[in-house]
Amino acid sequence: MMDISVVSGKLLSHRADLLAVLMREGAALPEMNLGGLVARCAREEEFKGGENAVLSLHTHGKIGAPRLALIGIGREKDADRTLEQLRNAASRAVKLAKAAGAKTLAISSPVSGEREVQALAEGASLGAYVFDRYKKEKKPLKLERVQILARKALAKAASQGAEIAGAVNLARDLVNEPPGRVTPRALADAARKMARAHGLRCEVLSRAQIRKLGMNLFLAVSQGSAQEPQLVRISYEARGTPIALVGKAITFDSGGLSIKTAQGMENMKVDMAGAAAVIAAMRLVAALKPPFPVRAYFGACENLPSGTAYKPGDVIAGKNGTSVEVLNTDAEGRLVLADVLAWAVEEKPAAVIDLATLTGAILVALGPWTTGLFSNDDALAAEISDAARIAGEPLWRMPLTPEMEELIKSPVADLKNTGGRYGGSINAALFLQHFVGKTPWAHLDIAGPASVDKERGYNPRGGTGAGVRLSAPRAR
Ligand code: BES
Ligand code: MN
Ligand code: ZN
């Protein structure tokens, strides 16, 4: 584990294997000039501090650090954008340190308040993440220490940033693990392990108990698989009314009998990213101890075709009694979520928030990196939007168009599980809304940002941990 701390060192004399100096575009070069070398290199390389620009030099003993990297963070836009610029730059600094084989990295930033130091710590830890468990050739991380040069009083902000990034990295691991390993039982075990390590309660319910709860929609999705479904509830106790988090936990989505194409299921191990995010968020809840109870729920299963699989045409009523005509077994997430949401709202939470890789259509609507937010409550939607903006998670609110209800009406049941191609993410959200009653509810469709197909800033290829940072309490 890489240690991240705050030290109040001096730029010129501070000893570290690599000193990374973050710089705004067009700002004056840092105080050390190494006999004019910094200015000359900057001129020759046309380094002006633009976002992602880097100028690396050896200092030949002229300052405390043998290597210096100037990292551009671009021009100032707004406070949230600054945080994102810092996360990216800190991640960049860590990658440079790794490439140089550095054991210690010091980072100096032109802006370093509480939130900025937190963002630097987040970026450093997020950028250091690699998933190489299954590679013969591993590159062990030589980097032992990241020191953020700032006032000592900001130590807490740095440790909070490291804590948050640690939780994001846990979610990334769970998503990146292959689906043959992260079975429903393994995902439940991961929740139990996290809960035990952090003093939370965790209950795991078996198929028989799921049946007793009347969750026939959840059971229907799971019935094509040889793996037993697992219903999980993680609780953090405090006084007051709880907040409920619900995660989609399809450990592999083949589409079932409405089977996907080969290409369409290449990355369908990602379909438990919502559950990974709520497990990680609960780890943060345990660490940051909010003054209200928080409960997380997920129903884990596989969606597979087989002789026992549920079928297009099946009509099933789940926990809250609403009957559903299944037209497409690949619209399975909303079926499982329906039952789990219905269960969560029975406990009368102040709000319920679900995170789900629910629809391909959200990628069509918002592109590959943006979460779609749907909510029946403007205040809740505003709180989540603010949190996402500060956390640097792109998010856009989508409508719950009431006129589109007719698209999910069934001739034989109360609802059908698909509403056609147009507005696919909206009709999926409208479907979920039938299972939350009057509880303030927000649905985050993370099908896009849950994973990326190539490295992007502080996100490595694969699972990103989308939804974790926006769930974390932070300095304001
Ligand atoms: N898990 C998928 C959605 C998904 C797509 C997640 C791409 C991540 C990346 C979901 O279960 C699904 O298959 N949705 C269908 C719904 C359709 C059958 C109504 C879809 O999006 O095509
Ligand atoms: Mn599906
Ligand atoms: Zn799915």
Q: Where are the domains of the chain?
A: 3-149, 168-471
- The torsion angles phi and psi of 371, rounded to 5 degrees, stand at -80, 140
User: Helix, strand, or coil here: 375?
Assistant: strand
Residue 332 alpha carbon, nearest atom of ligand 1: 11
Buried b (16+ CB within 10 A) or exposed e, 171-201: bbbbbbbebeebbbebbbbbbbebbeeeebe
pLDDT at 315 over 60: yes
The answer to whether domain 3-149 and domain 168-471 are alike in fold is no
Q: Could you tell me the distance, in angstroms and rounded to a whole number, from the CA of residue 336 to the centre of ligand 3?
A: 10
Percent of the chain having pLDDT more than 90? 95
Q: What is the pLDDT of residue 140?
A: 85
Confidence of residue 126 (pLDDT cuts 50, 70, 90): very high
Residues within 5 Å of ion ligand 2, judged at the Cβ atom: 253, 330, 332
Q: What is the pLDDT of residue 30?
A: 83
Looking at domain 3-149, does it have CATH number 3.40.605.10?
A: no
pLDDT at 431 over 50: yes
Mean pLDDT value across residues 229-255: 98
C-alpha 331/C-alpha 385 separation (Å) is 27
Q: Is the pTM of this model over 0.95?
A: yes
Please tell me the residue having the least CA distance from ligand 1 atom 7.
360
pLDDT at 475 over 90: no
Q: What is the pLDDT of residue 33?
A: 77
Q: Could you tell me the distance, in angstroms and rounded to a whole number, from the CA of residue 269 to the centre of ligand 3?
A: 9
The three-state DSSP-derived secondary structure of 176-194 is HCCCCCCCHHHHHHHHHHH
Q: Count Cβ atoms within 10 A of the Cβ of residue 266 and give its class: 0-12 exposed, 13-18 middle, 19 or more buried.
A: exposed
Mean pLDDT value across residues 313-335: 98
pLDDT at 394 over 50: yes
User: Helix, strand, or coil here: 368?
Assistant: coil
Q: What is the pLDDT of residue 473?
A: 63
pLDDT at 7 over 90: yes
Mean pLDDT value across residues 80-93: 98
Q: Count Cβ atoms within 10 A of the Cβ of residue 241 and give its class: 0-12 exposed, 13-18 middle, 19 or more buried.
A: exposed
- Contact 248/337 with Cβ under 8 angstroms? yes
- Contact 475/157 with Cβ under 8 angstroms? yes
Confidence of residue 354 (pLDDT cuts 50, 70, 90): very high
Location of structure tokens 């998933």: 131
Mean pLDDT value across residues 130-151: 95
The domain covering 168-471 belongs, at the CATH homologous superfamily level, to: Zn peptidases (3.40.630.10)
Q: What is the pLDDT of residue 396?
A: 98
What one-character DSSP code corresponds to residue 69? E
pLDDT at 334 over 90: yes
Choose among 118, 126, 38, 42: nearest CA to 80.
118
**30-46: pLDDT as tens digits:** 877 788 889 999 999 99
Q: Quick one: how far is CA 44 from the chain centroid?
A: 40
Q: Which residues are identified as catalytic?
A: 260, 334
Residues within 5 Å of ion ligand 3, judged at the Cβ atom: 250, 253, 271, 333
Q: Could you tell me the distance, in angstroms and rounded to a whole number, from the CA of residue 389 to the centre of ligand 3?
A: 26
pLDDT at 338 over 70: yes
* Average pLDDT value over all residues in the chain: 97
Q: What is the pLDDT of residue 474?
A: 53
Pocket of ligand 1 (CB under 6 A): 253, 270-271, 328, 330-333, 357, 359-361, 418, 424, 447
HSE-CB for 46 with a 13 A CA cutoff: 0
Location of structure tokens 């994102």: 84
- The torsion angles phi and psi of 336, rounded to 5 degrees, stand at -65, -45
Q: What is the pLDDT of residue 418?
A: 98
Q: What is the pLDDT of residue 422?
A: 97
Q: Count Cβ atoms within 10 A of the Cβ of residue 377 and give its class: 0-12 exposed, 13-18 middle, 19 or more buried.
A: middle
Choose among 224, 188, 192: nearest CA to 206.
188
Helices (H), 347-423: 361-366, 378-391
Q: Could you tell me the distance, in angstroms and rounded to a whole number, from the CA of residue 356 to the centre of ligand 3?
A: 9
User: Helix, strand, or coil here: 428?
Assistant: helix
Please tell me the residue having the least CA distance from ligand 1 atom 22.
360
Q: What is the pLDDT of residue 476?
A: 38
Strands 371-375 and 441-445 come out as antiparallel
C-alpha 294/C-alpha 357 separation (Å) is 22
